[in-house]
Structure 1
Amino acid sequence: MRKVKKGLYTVVAGALAGMLMLSGCSKSETGAGNGEASEESSAPSIELNMTMMTESQNDTSEKEAWESIAQSYMDKNPGVTINMEVQNFGGVEQHRAWVTTQLIAGTAPDIFMTRRIWDHEDLNKGQLVDLTPYFKEPSAYLGDKSLEGTISPSVLAQLIGAQKQYASVPTYVDVVRVLYNKDLFTKAGIEKVPQTWNEFMDAQAKLKDSGVTPFAFPNSKPGDFNYSWTSRILTEELIANTYPELDVSGNGFIEINEYVRGVDQGLIDIEKSPYKDMFGIIKDWSQYWSKGYNGLDMNSSNDLFLRGEAAMIMRTSAQSKVMFESKARQFEMASFPLPYLTQDNHPDAAGKLMEIGGVPAGNLAIPATIPKEKLEAAIDFLRFTVSPEIQGSMADKLYRAPVTENADLPEKLAGFKFAGEQMKLNIYGGEVDKNVTENNQKLGQLFLDGKITQEKYISQLKKVMVDGVNKLMTTNDWNKENNYGITK
């Protein structure tokens, strides 16, 4: 039975619609779970309050899946009750505002969903539980392996911060792909999937000549993501050769304080090449987008694609779910990474695929304010979400790519396997600075419409970027003298 009260979904014992059929597991080493329901359990009753975030307001499958995961955990651990609130925050910036407010007020639930690039910022402020020791302990859910021994090394490398600490546990990875209509490609005479940017542009010219819209590119708001993804991917392909001078800590990723250092010292300057040259490349590509793209949202672009009026769209694996399952789709569909720039396009191009995907997502964190008697159960649940049963069910039901090493993807997600090199900077990502993300998209609309020049677009965006960096420096007491808080 499920009680519903003002948006709060409290999961209690009993069968839930769509409940995952998961096998039992042996006793958890934390003592929170014993793997088998026992009426004689003497363990004290524990209530965990959780808040999960969904990407869609209309698709209930994610809410139902998380409710089922919670129910399955409670079936194995009858001394634990999970009260789960499932929210849709409407965008990255709203989600970040909620996390910040809850942590500052001391009202954060015992487990909540955050993002990788926020977790260490909050950990460094003393607002989260340091999960580092718990990453090293074995768990029955993980076949007596630890989180460090289960989660993919590439994911772990992105999770561990400059202080070599873990602040959250991811439940899936995001991978972005271009979905395409194979029938329309064949009709247009496109014989192979494009890999380079020139091949991509040539294919779109053929599609346009065949009478269809090459690309349905939603750009009505920052939450349509396509403009942000494209800005980030193409920028990384142009600046990949400068990674060594930006990655001061040497951990393989440009952390927020390294981004701050780069902007403050002029190493990251979007008014200079190659940063500024990315915008012209996007504008040139826009000739192949659907008409009225600045007023087109995700759902409308989905419809164009499903009706066969547009040959391509760009989505994450989870966002592709509606495409794979839609009864309206009457064509064969496949996917490929956004093609990469070569030196034919720009002399600074790295000439290789840079992946915006493979990023830890659905990260679960525990606030430092959690009562001590709840901590073991909360840690136990986090480990449970990375178990083979849960990772497999999330891939199958939600099209979420697993975080575990050597995990097998369902056939429908075969095209979402990580294929390139990991992006490191995330310059226009909402997790870094939501104001930069919003202004990049909004100013980008004006630029694409010809209402402002590229120079004005970039100068205004740079001001927002510098203002944001100055605020981060003030808030965190970062400066050149203390190396912006970066440790090697």
Structure 2
Amino acid sequence: MHGRLAKSFKMFVLVALCMSLTLGVLSGLAMAQEKKVIRCFVQAYTPRERMEADRWDPPQYYWKLEQEYEKLHPDIDIQFLKPIVGEYEAWFVTQMTGGTAPEILWRQLGAAKADYVKDWYLDFTPYLEKPNPYVEGNDYWKDIFIPAVSESAVAPDGKTYVLGVDIVGVGIYYNKNMFAEAGVTIPSTWKEFMDIQEKIESAGCTPTSFPLGGAMSNPGSWSVRLLQDMMLDSKMMEIKTGVKGAKGVVKRTREQGGSISWMELVRAIKLGIYSAKDPQWQEQWKLLKEWSRYWQKGFLAAEDTDAYRLYITGKAGMLYDGSWQVKPTEVDSLREFDFGLFNFPKVTEESSPYATGIECPSIGGAGCAAGNFCVPLVVKERGLADETIDWLMFVTAPQNLIPLCNDLGSFAPALKVTEGVDPRLLPFIKQLERGSERIQPDLSILTPQYYQQHYRILQQYIGGRLTMDEATDKLQREMEKGADTLIDQHPEWGLKK
């Protein structure tokens, strides 16, 4: 009898222990399920492990921030989406319209401002007026950012739907060894720019590696936009006011296309003030074609990676590219030369009768890089708005954002504090002092259809398949179509087709 009791007691203890363990596991699962999940698509900052094919370390700093934040907030689970496979815009629209978007997404500032009528986004404005608890002595979150962040972010309805917390810039990377061998120095004017390329070519080298292939060329777009701003400088007041012959200075702002509104541009098109048939407008394409004489053979089939490889292997003297190439150029094992960086040169009267000598504007700025955060409005319905904003406040605190940007090495932090910023990224912050292009960039100037046709016709002209007259006849028709489409979409403008 005593033995049976002992066995029963042991069985009781065993069952109790199992139940305790089971309850513990269930309790742990319940706690895990109670965590609030914040999913993020952080574009180029997406952390990942290094792969065998990598020639430099990939970004990983977000993992460190994730760990630190979750220690402070054990009820939060930060998750990073993997890079989107396929066409991002189609994926983005599907996520937003279906109400399935992650809590934080990447969105270009211009696109988000155009989307404001769709009621997709959470408005950052009230949150920017609150203190950032992760920045000592801060009264308003907005005060930690450079003015360009707030100045460029406001949509037509007065709200802020995208928070651009980093800065992108562009420049001309050059091979110092090749420059020395050709006996040339950094140019400051368009004439000097053409002259040094003539000398580099005479020395038996390819002066510039330039991609003009594919569905879009960043350098092609940047070049046309910068040349347009300089060539139309004396005509900007006419475009802005809609009055032919109007004189005066239209100042640049820190926002791309921030000086001339969509309505003002469409009105100028309908009045014939902004026209592809205007010789002053055509000057931008003429100068770009002049430059194309010094590009590599096959530039119409070359894309960004092709152009970079030609330059980094020492087969071309220059590469027009973005700030995201600073780190790759610095650490790439394929590079066997010293390199430097200079700004796109200004056009003077030596090169064009339309030149006023104005300095070249900046391309990019805040809201155009990889740190463009938007929060879907549906996040508020999920009860995660405050938590998502708090995570963004943590990320953007200088002690976190600066090392995050340094780790990627592609974009400068859009902060007033610059201590600790990688010195190689500082010039792109300084570029903002020149102000941005005054007319909307070609990506958003009218409609997506216009942009596609604009680029296709430009390729045909630069490649010699169309004359200037043929190309601008085609482009003017597309310009008129784009203007009419926007007039239909915006009856409040009061413009007639």
- Residue 410 of structure 1 deviates from its aligned partner by 1.4
- Residue 202 of structure 1 deviates from its aligned partner by 0.9
Partner of 1:398: 408
Q: Which amino acid aligns with 1:380?
A: D
- Residue 195 of structure 1 deviates from its aligned partner by 0.9
- Residue 230 of structure 1 deviates from its aligned partner by 0.7
Partner of 2:391: 381
Separation (CA, whole Å) in 2 of partners of 1:208 and 1:80 = 59
Partner of 2:473: 459
Give the unaligned 5+ runs of structure 1.
1-40
1:383-413 Cα shifts (integer Å, max 9, x gaps): 2232213321233121211111242441233
Partner of 2:11: none
The alignment yields a C-alpha RMSD, in angstroms, of 3.1
Separation (CA, whole Å) in 1 of partners of 2:195 and 2:251 = 39
Identity of aligned residues (%): 23
- Residue 67 of structure 1 deviates from its aligned partner by 4.6
Q: Is the 8 A contact 1:176 1:357 kept in 2?
A: yes
Relative distance call for 1:163 and 1:75 in structure 2 (3 A) is same
Partner of 2:285: 279
Partner of 2:6: none
Q: Is the 8 A contact 1:55 1:88 kept in 2?
A: no
Q: Is the 8 A contact 1:305 1:313 kept in 2?
A: yes
TM-score, normalised to structure 1's length? Answer: 0.81
- Residue 449 of structure 1 deviates from its aligned partner by 2.1
Q: Is the 8 A contact 1:127 1:367 kept in 2?
A: yes
Separation (CA, whole Å) in 1 of partners of 2:39 and 2:216 = 28
- Residue 445 of structure 1 deviates from its aligned partner by 2.1
Separation (CA, whole Å) in 2 of partners of 1:64 and 1:439 = 39
- Residue 444 of structure 1 deviates from its aligned partner by 2.0
Bigger mean CA deviation after superposition, 58-67 or 404-413: 58-67
Relative distance call for 1:55 and 1:76 in structure 2 (3 A) is closer
Q: Is the 8 A contact 1:155 1:359 kept in 2?
A: yes
Q: Is the 8 A contact 1:200 1:339 kept in 2?
A: yes
Q: Which amino acid aligns with 2:347?
A: L
Relative distance call for 1:84 and 1:237 in structure 2 (3 A) is same
Partner of 2:70: 74
Q: Is the 8 A contact 2:165 2:415 kept in 1?
A: no
- Residue 150 of structure 1 deviates from its aligned partner by 1.2
The 5 A counterparts of 1:179-218 are: 179-190=173-184, 192-218=185-211
- Residue 214 of structure 1 deviates from its aligned partner by 0.6
**Alignment equivalent of 2:300, drawn from 294, 310, 314:** 294
- Residue 376 of structure 1 deviates from its aligned partner by 0.2
Separation (CA, whole Å) in 1 of partners of 2:64 and 2:453 = 39
> Does 2:434 align with 1:428?
no
Q: Is the 8 A contact 1:115 1:431 kept in 2?
A: no
Relative distance call for 1:334 and 1:370 in structure 2 (3 A) is same
- Residue 344 of structure 1 deviates from its aligned partner by 2.3
Partner of 1:173: 167
Relative distance call for 1:474 and 1:228 in structure 2 (3 A) is same
1:416-474 Cα shifts (integer Å, max 9, x gaps): 34333321223312586433333333222221221111222222223333333333333
Partner of 1:47: 37
Relative distance call for 1:108 and 1:246 in structure 2 (3 A) is farther
Partner of 1:339: 345
Q: Which amino acid aligns with 2:75?
A: G
SS of equivalent to 1:330? coil
- Residue 128 of structure 1 deviates from its aligned partner by 1.2
SS of equivalent to 1:302? helix
1:179-208 Cα shifts (integer Å, max 9, x gaps): 001111111111x31111111111111111
Separation (CA, whole Å) in 2 of partners of 1:106 and 1:153 = 33
Partner of 1:474: 488
Q: Is the 8 A contact 1:228 1:437 kept in 2?
A: no
> Does 2:425 align with 1:413?
yes
- Residue 245 of structure 1 deviates from its aligned partner by 5.2
Partner of 1:365: 374
Separation (CA, whole Å) in 1 of partners of 2:319 and 2:427 = 14
Aligned residues: 439
Separation (CA, whole Å) in 1 of partners of 2:237 and 2:392 = 34
Relative distance call for 1:458 and 1:108 in structure 2 (3 A) is farther
Q: Which amino acid aligns with 2:118?
A: K
Separation (CA, whole Å) in 2 of partners of 1:142 and 1:432 = 40
- Residue 69 of structure 1 deviates from its aligned partner by 4.0
Separation (CA, whole Å) in 2 of partners of 1:374 and 1:432 = 36
Partner of 2:328: 322
- Residue 236 of structure 1 deviates from its aligned partner by 1.1
Give the unaligned 5+ runs of structure 2.
1-30, 242-249
Relative distance call for 1:357 and 1:251 in structure 2 (3 A) is closer
Partner of 2:363: 356
SS of equivalent to 1:141? coil
Relative distance call for 1:467 and 1:394 in structure 2 (3 A) is farther
Q: Which amino acid aligns with 1:382?
A: L
1:289-339 Cα shifts (integer Å, max 9, x gaps): 111111122222222112211010011111332211101111111101111
Separation (CA, whole Å) in 2 of partners of 1:473 and 1:261 = 9
The 5 A counterparts of 1:220-235 are: 220-235=213-228
- Residue 371 of structure 1 deviates from its aligned partner by 3.4
Which is higher, the Rg of structure 1 or of structure 2? 2
The 5 A counterparts of 1:50-199 are: 50-54=40-44, 64-88=60-84, 94-143=87-136, 144-190=138-184, 192-199=185-192
Structure richer in helix, relative to its length: 2
